[in-house]
Amino acid sequence: MASEELVKGFSDYTGEEALRRETIKEILVKWFKRYGFEPVETPVIEYEEFVKKDNEEDEAVSDIFKLQDKGKRKLALRYEFTFQLKRLAKNKKLPYKRYQKIE
């Protein structure tokens, strides 16, 4: 397999297609802001323990990408936003209206 191939399910977007996608994202952000949603950014890498939490039996959790940093800490790639939303919404007035751009 050539190292230049894309991972299945991922795409490069350039030119007209990239511009179209950028325009759509700008429209979405405009409307989210208009209705009082706030932008948030969450890390792509979290502690493995945080990602697993009470969901170790969940099939998605069993398939997470695991990493280890130079300090030997167990890390994992984020696979969704639910657990991060729980952390963000703590002590927030509900409903907690937020949006997150996925780049």
Residue 1 in this model has a pLDDT that exceeds 60: no
pLDDT in tens, 83-102: 888 889 988 988 999 999 87
- Sorted by where each begins, the domain ranges of the chain are 15-99
pLDDT in tens, 30-60: 999 999 999 999 999 989 888 877 666 666 6
Asked if omega into 43 is within 30° of 0 (cis), the reply is no
Buried b (16+ CB within 10 A) or exposed e, 93-102: eeeeebeeee
